[in-house]
Amino acid sequence: MKAFLWQTIPISALLRSAVCASLLGGSLFLTLPAFAGLGEDAGSVDADQAQMQGARRVTQSAAYSVHEIKAPTGVTVREYVSKSGQVFGVAWQGPWPPDMRQILANNFETYRQASEAQVNSHNGRRPLVIDQHEFVMHAGGHMRSFNGRAFIPALLPNGVTPESIR
Amino acid sequence: MMRFERNNRKLVTSEISMKKMSILNFFGVHLGFAALAFVVGCGGGHSSSASTPITPPPPPTGSNVQAIIVNAGPGGNYANGVFTSVSVCMPATTSCQTIDGILVDTGSSGLRILSSALTSVTLPKQTAADGNAVVECLPFVSGYTWGPVETADVQISGETAKSLPIQIISATDFPVPTSCSNRGAAENTLAQLGANGIIGVGLNAQDCGDQCVATGAQNPDLYFECPTSGCVVTGEPLAKQVINPVSLFTGDNNGVIIELPAITGPEATVSGSLIFGIGTRSNNGLGPATVYPTDNQFHFTTTYKNQAYPASFIDSGSNGLFFLTTAIDGIPTCSNASSFYCPTTTENLSATTQGAGGVGTGTVNFSVANADGLFANASATAFSQLGGANTLSGFDWGLPFFFGRNVYSAIEGQSTPGGVGPYWAY
């Protein structure tokens, strides 16, 4: 078993720091990245947490840290952050999907277009699988229970398997 | 390789001729039924003959039985979609429109109809306390449907759901809010949906449930009210939500059965029955079916190769058997970037299913054939061996699971002879 370092970042602390930042001259919105989530830097997790109004728990392991955000909607998002400070993977689970634009960031359009393209060969409702060189995503579930995962293969730390992201 | 393909083609041809025969058989059953009725009406006839033809069991009859069919659907392009028709009426009037091409979905609850298909009836819009129209954004796996909640008397077979809240899917009646379009692809047109609508007859009583009743941090942003200034999230009482239409029937309202015959190869069409009620009449008893209760997320456990997947489910609205990924099960996906599996030879597999709390256990044998090979049958729409990748969470037992099984879905909180829902039985 690996030893994990548990760290909790309450939403109040996050908001306090954001408010302090804005009092120091920047506005709250300027202190957060325009796009948060997958492919962005670790600081973008703050924006996701604020958007989800969630509680965060951070788990450290040798190659990366996992920022788990639990929203009051029952949705849990896990963001996988490499030692170099990039979000290389995200996973989600809950009664409804999370705000996909928020957590997929610049990959959202790739996701949306791939979903639309699914009907090109045959119509049919099914899990979504995107398996591209730059972006991989699996999403599934049904009403009241959805889950999925997405990652950027080029950002996976050495020795980390895609199946770690779940 | 060429020879293999030719052989394949030969096989395909024979499958298609079998398919034609089975279509004839299907009509034969009905003609036979009519003929039988005629004979009985005439006071009998020969009851024995030298050769007794093997005939499939007659389809169930009754005012709680609705015909369903697997075909290409109203978009002409559906694989493994099971469709039916519903009659949508202005409440408390006889002003009705029958709409076919409605996908039968045990993976959701509530009736949703494309605005473009509802042409001859204008339904009253549901309004919030302040008089603004209530509009829903319903998330599916990779997209959403958007449109107003309207009220209808809905008739299907001999059953009626009076003053049923339904979603009228339309991208244009009200502007789509950002939080809705952020969910992914719009599924608001026939081309995108492949159906004129979806009738959700799943395990949950309402689509959203308690989470949507009040506004606040717990609200998942499904229901909006839409003044001219723009749509904002609204609290939606349970009774006003888009609810499982079966719940509003006066009887036969505790669940449904989907009955589809077994098929061996790809078929052009497959006919079956959607039966309302479980153990409420002589035609909908549980019989030898095993009951599999679900957990509160509507899951049960599937065990495959000694690994238990507790987030598995049964869903007539999924168009294949979706499980795990190539990295886990070693079955390759097709080269055309689709998520379907394309093994070089058909995989004959087995899994066990177990209800929540360990109640109910059974074995499911299933096969996954090469999806490209299946789809090479241009006229086929029903595929019992169509499989594909899922997330890592488990098994999504889609429509192929239903061929050759009577699958019961009991609605949450409803009493049945097999216990209180939610459960599946088969």
Q: What is the value of ipTM here, to two decimals?
A: 0.85
Question: How far is the first Cα of chain B from the last one, in angstroms, to the nearest whole number?
Answer: 41
How far, in Å, CA of A23 to CA of A20, rounded?
Answer: 5
Give the model's pLDDT for residue A36: 64
Q: How many residues does chain B have?
A: 426
- Listed in sequence order, the residues at least 6 apart from A3 whose beta carbon sits closer than 8 Å to its beta carbon are none
Look up residue B319 and give its amino acid. Answer: N
- Listed in sequence order, the residues at least 6 apart from A141 whose beta carbon sits closer than 8 Å to its beta carbon are A97, A127, A147, A148, B141, B391, B393
- Using the beta-carbon criterion (under 8 Å), do A111 and B142 form an inter-chain contact? yes
Give the model's pLDDT for residue B337: 65
Structure tokens that stand for A94 in this block: 């809950």
Residue percentage of chain A with pLDDT more than 70: 78
Look up residue B161 and give its amino acid. Answer: A
- Which one, of A84, A82, A13, lies nearest residue A49 by Cα? A13
Q: What are phi and psi of B198, to 5 degrees?
A: -135, 130
- Using the beta-carbon criterion (under 8 Å), do A125 and B141 form an inter-chain contact? yes
**Is the separation of the CB atoms in A73 and B220 below 8 Å?**
yes
- Using the beta-carbon criterion (under 8 Å), do B191 and A119 form an inter-chain contact? yes
How far, in Å, CA of B204 to CA of B256, rounded?
Answer: 12
Strand B232-233 and strand B81-89: the pairing is unpaired
Helix pair A44-52, A11-23: axis angle to 10 deg: 120
Over B124-192, what HEC string results? CECECCCCCEEEEEEECCCEEEEEEEEEEEEEECCEEEEEEEEEEECCCCCCCCHHHHCCCEECCCHHH
Give the model's pLDDT for residue A10: 55
Rg (CA), chain B: 22
Does A115 contact B at CB distance below 8 Å? yes
Give the model's pLDDT for residue A45: 87
Which pLDDT tens digit goes with each residue over A134-157? 999 999 999 999 999 999 999 999
Which pLDDT tens digit goes with each residue over A25-75? 334 434 444 456 899 988 888 888 888 888 899 999 999 999 999 999 999
Give the model's pLDDT for residue B13: 34
**Is the separation of the CB atoms in B187 and B140 below 8 Å?**
yes
Residue B390 C-alpha, separation from nearest chain A C-alpha, in angstroms: 6
Q: What are phi and psi of B271, to 5 degrees?
A: -105, 145
Instruction: Give Cα B219 distance to the centre of its chain.
Output: 27
Does A134 contact B at CB distance below 8 Å? no
Residue A126 C-alpha, separation from nearest chain B C-alpha, in angstroms: 5
Q: Which residues, given as ranges, of chain B have pLDDT below 50? A: 1-50
3-state helix, strand, coil in chain A (%, to 5): 30, 30, 40
Mutate to test the interface with B, among A142, A156, A160, A166 (most CBs of B within 10 A): A142
As a dihedral over the C-alpha atoms of residue B330, residue B336, residue B340, residue B341, rounded to 10 degrees, the angle is -30
Give the model's pLDDT for residue B73: 98
Give the model's pLDDT for residue A120: 72
Helix (H) or strand (E) holding A44: helix A44-52
- Using the beta-carbon criterion (under 8 Å), do B218 and A72 form an inter-chain contact? yes
Give the model's pLDDT for residue A43: 84
Give the model's pLDDT for residue A11: 54
Among the partner residues A131, A143, A162, nearest to B109 by beta-carbon distance: A143
Question: Which residues of chain A make contact with B322, given a CB cutoff of 8 A?
Answer: 126-127, 140
Question: Which residues of chain A make contact with B142, given a CB cutoff of 8 A?
Answer: 111, 115, 118, 128, 139
DSSP letter for A163, please: G
To 5 degrees, how large is the angle CA B161–CA B165–CA B169?
A: 120
Which pLDDT tens digit goes with each residue over B209-265? 999 999 999 999 999 999 999 999 999 999 999 999 999 999 999 999 999 999 989
Helix (H) or strand (E) holding A16: helix A11-23
How far, in Å, CA of A82 to CA of A66, rounded?
Answer: 9
Strand B361-368 and strand B347-354: the pairing is antiparallel
Among the partner residues A99, A116, A138, nearest to B391 by beta-carbon distance: A138
Give the model's pLDDT for residue B58: 78
Which letter, b or e, does each residue of B354-384 get, where b requires 16 or more Cβ atoms within 10 Å of its Cβ? Answer: bbbeeebeeebebebbbbebbbebeebbbbb
How far, in Å, CA of A120 to CA of B238, rounded?
Answer: 37
